[in-house]
Amino acid sequence: MDVSAFCLEDTLTCGFTRSQFEELALQHPAVGLQVNKTLSERISWLTNRVSSLADVNFEDRLYRVLRNVAKEHGAQSPQGVVIQFPLAH
């Protein structure tokens, strides 16, 4: 499968085949573990997103969205968690 990208600044990209990746993961188990961790986090995030769609109550959906944004982008403060960017959408 061919892919392409447009970069706004000088960028180094790397590519490899599936078999090359499998060999890399076998030679460097930390790489395979990190990929597994990242994929697990992504699956968990997607599961939460899908379950939030099942909430009929608007307040419950809004609560889940804000909780997830705070978890991913929030910073602890004496008043609680602060989301440090404008929420426009």
The confidence score (pLDDT) of residue 89 equals: 59
Q: What is the mean pLDDT of the chain?
A: 85
Strand partners, 77: 80
Residue 81: inside a domain: no
Say what the pLDDT of residue 45 is.
Answer: 85
Whether 11 maps to a domain, the answer reads no
For the chain, residues with pLDDT lower than 70 are 55, 89
The number of folded domains in the chain is 1
Q: Quick one: the chain helix, strand, coil %, rounded to 5?
A: 60, 10, 35
Q: H/E element holding 75?
A: strand 74-77
pLDDT at 55: 67
In a domain, 30, yes or no: yes
Task: Enter the DSSP assignment of 78.
Answer: T
Instruction: Give the pLDDT of residue 47.
Output: 87
Distance CA(31)–CA(67), nearest Å, equals 30
Residue 83 lies in a domain: no
Give, in order, the Cα–Cα distances in Å from 81 to each of 41, 65, 70: 21, 14, 7
80 located within any domain: no
pLDDT of residue 40: 96
Tell me the whole-structure pTM to 2 decimals: 0.49
CA-only gyration radius of the chain, Å: 19
Residue 32 lies in a domain: yes
Q: In this structure, is residue 69 part of a structural domain?
A: yes
Q: Domain span at residue 53?
A: 18-75
Q: Is residue 28 part of a domain?
A: yes
